[in-house]
């Protein structure tokens, strides 16, 4: 079956406004979801699930969160890790103190992050661009400091480390890698769908309007303050839920120092490499940054063995970093709009293949 739209006529606006207007895309995404929900749990081993797929999904969610704020609403932020921390410690405390089921606790953790996000988003009403990024740095330092300084947040554990409680949903225990993977996948899929719905309706258009030309946005009746703060709230909510998932489904034990500026930068890189202002790009970016080092690790050793060169592990890990850095620069030079744009160009070329135009 070729990738063609021929014969697929839209006769209603509803048909024209689907997320995937092309039939082949709908089939592809259906297959992908089937593989992710049914195939992967059957074949993937514990290493793949716990060390690769779960972190990939979690970081894709955090990247999605930052992409909403930076890519769609145009507000630069360096506080993503802080909002993740709020989500993680929020969920921990809701479960610990109120004995809540995990899903509401995750959502409330996300809401805590949203509140903190709104608070640190307030400067965006006056400042833009790099200056705003510096203002969000305050969130980064303040949150990590606060969580370390006030023992209450970590239930007075001596080192500030929290240990995720046992999870269950309706009596069904979430303790194996497969069940954790399925939980993460479900939450991430639903939130990604909701993000897509938001960005294709008035909320998203208002964000992009503020990003592209804020004076014009205001003149046509978009309230700047509400729109920017909503972007901060939704973005931080996504980061917060990602943080809670990171604590409960990925790491198990986590301390405030895990959520450093380094992590914020990592998420920002995922946004840039994946594609600024693209939902799909968030997944590409997370995959690239998380999978590539692992891939290099797997590939490099046998590669040198092939040529009979014996090198130390230290050199290989340094080479990994260098190749990784080189590839990031290469991809950005080839396509500054990220992998999502490359993907889009590829699809457009495929539509008219074998003709060039």
100 vs 222 by CB, closer to other proteins: 222
**Contacting residue, 198, 244, 246, 247, with other proteins by CB under 8 A:** 198
Integer Cα distance of 21 and 230 in angstroms: 28
Question: Residue 92: which of 206, 287, 254 has the closest Cα?
Answer: 254
Integer Cα distance of 29 and 35 in angstroms: 10
Question: Residue 227: which of 211, 247, 242 has the closest Cα?
Answer: 211
Instruction: Tell me, by CB under 8 A, how many residues bind other proteins.
Output: 29
Interface with other proteins, residue 194, by CB under 8 A? yes
CB of 64 to other proteins, least distance (A): 13
CB of 219 to other proteins, least distance (A): 5
211 vs 228 by CB, closer to other proteins: 211
Rounded to the nearest 5°, which phi and psi values hold at 60? Answer: -60, -40
Q: Which stretch binds other proteins (CB under 8 A): 197-205, 241-249, 325-333, 344-352?
A: 197-205
Binding string to other proteins for residues 225 to 244, with x set by CB under 8 A, is what? -----x---x----------
74 vs 177 by CB, closer to other proteins: 74
Q: Which stretch binds other proteins (CB under 8 A): 30-38, 91-99, 111-119, 203-211?
A: 203-211
148 vs 344 by CB, closer to other proteins: 344
168-171 contacts, C-beta under 8 A, 24 or more apart: 168/102, 169/101, 169/102, 169/103
Interface with other proteins, residue 317, by CB under 8 A? no
**For helices 202-212 and 224-245, angle between their N-to-C axes, nearest 10 degrees:** 110
CA neighbours within 13 Å on the CB side: how many for 103? Answer: 12
CB of 209 to other proteins, least distance (A): 5
Q: Which two tokens stand for residue 58?
A: 């979690």
Interface with other proteins, residue 206, by CB under 8 A? yes
Q: At a CB cut-off of 8 Å and minimum separation 6, what does 199 contact?
A: 68, 72, 207, 208, 279
Q: Which stretch binds other proteins (CB under 8 A): 47-55, 154-162, 192-200, 263-271?
A: 192-200
Interface with other proteins, residue 171, by CB under 8 A? no
Alpha-helical (H) ranges within the chain are 13-16, 23-34, 40-43, 46-47, 54-66, 80-98, 102-121, 129-149, 177-199, 202-212, 214-219, 224-245, 261-274, 279-306, 313-334, 338-352
Contact 227, 73 (CB under 8 A): yes
Q: Which stretch binds other proteins (CB under 8 A): 169-177, 199-207, 260-268, 310-318?
A: 199-207
Q: Which stretch binds other proteins (CB under 8 A): 125-133, 201-209, 284-292, 300-308?
A: 201-209
Q: Are strands 162-163 and 172-174 parallel, antiparallel or unpaired?
A: unpaired
**Contacting residue, 7, 171, 221, 302, with other proteins by CB under 8 A:** 221
Integer Cα distance of 89 and 157 in angstroms: 13
**Contacting residue, 185, 192, 211, 239, with other proteins by CB under 8 A:** 211
CB of 336 to other proteins, least distance (A): 14
Interface with other proteins, residue 223, by CB under 8 A? yes
Angle at the Cα of 299 from the Cα atoms of 293 and 302, rounded to 5 degrees: 145
**Contacting residue, 43, 215, 314, 333, with other proteins by CB under 8 A:** 215
**Contacting positions for other proteins (CB under 8 A):** 13-14, 17, 194-195, 197-198, 201-203, 205-206, 208-209, 211-213, 215-223, 230, 234, 277
């Amino acid at each position: 079956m070729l990738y063609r739209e021929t014969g697929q006529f839209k006769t209603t606006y509803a048909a024209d406004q689907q997320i995937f207007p092309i039939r082949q895309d709908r089939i592809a995404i259906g297959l992908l979801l089937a593989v992710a929900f049914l195939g992967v749990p059957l074949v993937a081993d514990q290493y793949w699930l716990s060390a690769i797929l779960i972190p990939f999904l979690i970081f894709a969610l955090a990247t999605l969160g930052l992409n909403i704020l930076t890519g769609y609403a145009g507000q630069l932020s360096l506080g993503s890790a802080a909002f993740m921390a709020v989500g993680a410690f929020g969920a921990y405390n809701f479960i610990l103190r109120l004995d809540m089921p995990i899903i509401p606790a995750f959502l409330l953790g996300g809401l805590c992050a949203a509140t903190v996000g709104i608070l640190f988003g307030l400067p965006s009403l006056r400042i833009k661009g790099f200056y705003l990024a510096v203002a969000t740095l305050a969130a980064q330092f303040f949150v990590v400091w606060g969580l370390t300084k006030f023992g209450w947040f970590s239930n007075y554990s001596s080192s500030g480390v929290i240990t995720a409680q046992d999870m269950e949903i309706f009596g069904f225990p979430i303790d194996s890698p497969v069940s954790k993977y399925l939980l993460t996948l479900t939450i991430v899929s639903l939130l990604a769908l909701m993000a897509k719905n938001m960005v294709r309706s008035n909320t998203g258009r208002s964000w992009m309007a503020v990003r592209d030309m804020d004076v014009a946005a205001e003149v046509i009746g978009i309230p700047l303050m509400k729109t920017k703060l909503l972007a901060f709230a939704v973005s931080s909510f996504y980061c917060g839920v990602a943080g809670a998932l990171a604590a409960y489904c990925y790491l198990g034990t986590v301390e405030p120092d895990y959520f450093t500026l380094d992590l914020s930068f990592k998420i920002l890189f995922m946004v840039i490499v994946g594609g600024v202002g693209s939902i799909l790009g968030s997944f590409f970016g997370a995959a690239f940054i998380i999978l590539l080092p692992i891939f290099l690790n797997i590939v490099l050793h046998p590669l040198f063995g092939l040529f009979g060169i014996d090198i130390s592990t230290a050199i290989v890990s340094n080479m990994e970093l260098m190749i990784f850095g080189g590839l990031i620069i290469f991809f950005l030079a080839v396509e500054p709009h990220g992998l999502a744009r490359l993907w889009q160009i590829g699809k457009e070329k495929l539509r008219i293949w074998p003709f060039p135009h």
